[in-house]
Structures are given as structure tokens and as C-alpha cells.
Amino acid sequence: MMETFYIILITILKTALYFGVLMLHVAYATYAERKVIGHIQLRLGPMVVGPHGLLQPIADVIKLIFKEDIIPSNVDKKIFTIAPLISLTAALSTFAVIPVTDKWFIADINVGILYVLGILGVGTYGIIFAGWSSNSKYAFLGGLRSAAQMISYEVALAMSIVGVIIMAESFNLTEIVNRQAQYPLGMFLFPQIIGYFVFIVAMLAETNRVPFDLPEAETELVAGYFVEYSGIRFSLFYLAEYLAMFCMSALATICFWGGWTIPPFLLKIFPFLSIVPGVVWFLLKVYFHMFLFFWFRGTLPRYRYDQLMAIGWKVLIPLALFNIILTSLIKYYS
């Protein structure tokens, strides 16, 4: 009994620390995004608040908390109120199983990948609820589009990971990282290059990012499913989107890039790199994927909706199926 209590206390402390650091990363990811896109477009980005605009995220948080929370008169009030909470809870609780290093995680469960995919799927409910309950045409269309898009790409996303699972023979995220050590480059990236490609495209669509940001296509739907949201409720959606981006980046890092391990060929050329702690490698790889999100947003135009559906169903899913068949055959005969 005493031991259970002790474990619960440790978990709460760990979660508080993990989430505290995570929130800081999310806040500065919004800043990084504005800076990166600014420089891509030959602007400076935020410069006014603090040196080089470094205090901008904090100013944003304060502003969002002090904003009026408008609930339009003819919304479905109960659903309208809980929708952002569902989105945020889903996005935040995925991090329960994501290990930062081999010793630093909150919970190391055997079905880590299934848990992450399942909880990410719950996030779709928040978006559907928001779009439906707002009783606004833009929100309704945005919610519908978003739901169809997210479920379409969820299939491709889940299938792209099957190749990794075949190679790692485990759902446990720590185990998946450990298994990658015996492969060239110390990652599944090369044997699973098709899977990685499918994962990256599906990851952009799952988080509603450019070039697949149809649900919030601002030129036609204003802001999509959160048109009617303001103040703190809007910021919960915003937070959930960035958390989902971090979660996807972390998943890509763990499944395809070898997590916190150092690529062996780098270690061979520069032996002194072994003193760099694992968490630095992990963050480097995660931020590479975050940079991909920003880079795509600064570079690519938006797809049309029929193109988006065609890519999901006619390209990604056959590719992922092909990858599964190929991987299982090679794995069986090796």
C-alpha cells in the first residue's frame, strides 16, 4: 500500500516536471515558427517584446488568458464548452508514454504505440464536436473536412508504423529504440524509407498543417472549426495543435530516427561525441521534425480537397500496404 502511494507521488512529480518543460517548449515552438517563417519570407518576425522578441510567447499567453470568452447565443453549449478540453487532454496525455531517454519517461507500458495512436484518435472528437456545436457554417464545414481528413490519414499513419513494429517486434517505445542499434545508421530510417515517407506526409495531414491545412483554410473558411472560439478556449485548441506536432515529431524520432541514441557512424568519426547526453540527441531530432513543419508551411501552397483525399487513399495507403508486404517478406526470409 505504502509503495503504491509512493509510486503515485513520484508519477505526479514526474508529470509536473515533464509537462512544465513541455509547455515551455510548446510556447517557444510558436515563437520559432514565426521566426523561421519570417526569415523564409525575408522578414524579421517578432522583434518588439524583449530582445529579438524572445518574450513574445509569454506576452501571448498573458493576452489569451485576459481575453473575453465569447459563447455565441445559438451554440450547443455543453459540447461547445468541452470540445477544447477533449482536444487538449488527448494531445497532452499522449506524452505519458513517450520516453525522452532510456531512463526518463513517465510510464513505460508494453503497448506504447497503440496508446499513442488511440489517444491521438480521440483528439479528432474535439474537432468534430467544435465544428458541429458552433452552429456556424464555416465551423461546420471545417469540422466535417477535418474529420474526413484526419480519419483518412490515420489509416495511412497507423499502417506506416506496422513496418517498424515488424522490425522491432514490440509495441514498447523504449524497446523499439533499442532494436535500432543493430541496423546501419542506428535507425530504422533506411530499411523503412517508404514507411517514413508515408509517416511524414500523414503526420502533416493529421496535425492539420500546411500543405494539408484544409480544415482551417483561411481564404475560404476563415479559421475552420474554431471560428467561434475566442480567448482561453481558442488557445486550448492552439496548444493542442502544437502538442500534437511535438507528439508526431517525437514518434517519428523514436520510430525512425533511433530516439536518443547517437548514430554509430558519427560516433566513429567523432569519438568525443559520446559525452553528449541522450536527451540532446532526442531534442535535436525532434526539432529537426518541428523545423520540417515550419519549412513546409513557409514553402508549399495548399492542396485542393479532392487532391488531399486522392493522396491519402490512392497513394499513401497502397504505399503503406506495399511496405508492410515487403518488410514482412524480407524479415521472414532473413
CB of 246 to another protein, least distance (A): 14
Query: Looking at the chain, how many residues does it have?
Result: 334
Question: Which of 45/213 has CB closer to another protein?
Answer: 213
Smallest gap from Cβ 29 to another protein, in A, equals 17
CA distance 214 to 306: 11
Nearest distance from C-beta of residue 294 to another protein, angstroms? 25
Which of residues 78 and 331 has its CB atom nearest to another protein in the complex? 331
Q: How many angstroms separate the most distant Cα atoms in the chain?
A: 65
Please identify, using beta-carbon distances, which residue of 101 and 328 lies nearer to another protein: 328
Return the residue matching grid coordinates 514490440: 170
Based on CB atoms, which residue is closest to another protein, 39 or 331? Answer: 331
Which of 166/290 has CB closer to another protein? 166
- DSSP helix/strand/coil, 236: helix
Write the secondary structure of 122-179 as one string of H (helix), E (strand) and C (coil). Answer: HHHHHHHHHHHHCCCHHHHHHHHHHHHHHHHHHHHHHHHHHHHHHHHCCCCHHHHHHH
Choose between 10 and 279: whose C-beta lies nearer to another protein. Answer: 10
Residue 99, helix vs strand vs coil: coil
Q: How far is the CB of 241 from another protein (least distance, A)?
A: 14
Does residue 324 contact residue 159 with C-beta atoms inside 8 Å? yes
- If 0-12 CB within 10 Å is exposed, 13-18 middle and 19+ buried, where does residue 52 land? middle
Kindly give the residue spans of alpha helices, DSSP state H, lying in the chain.
Answer: 2-40, 56-66, 77-93, 112-133, 137-168, 173-179, 193-206, 218-221, 231-256, 264-269, 278-299, 305-310, 317-332
CB 301, min distance to another protein, A: 18
| Cell of residue 284, nine digits | 535535436
Quote the CA–CA distance of 74 and 64 in Å, as a whole number.
Answer: 24
Shorter beta-carbon distance to another protein: residue 163 or 278: 163
Shortest Å, Cβ 118 to another protein = 10
Nearest distance, CB of residue 74 and another protein, angstroms: 7
Please, which residue, 126 or 186, has the CB nearer to another protein?
126
| Residue 225 DSSP SS3 | helix
> Is the CB of residue 208 less than 8 Å from the CB of residue 152?
no
| Least distance between another protein and beta carbon 171 (Å) | 7
CB of 306 to another protein, least distance (A): 4
Please say which residue, 53 or 99, places its beta carbon nearer to another protein.
99
Cell digits for 184?
A: 546501419
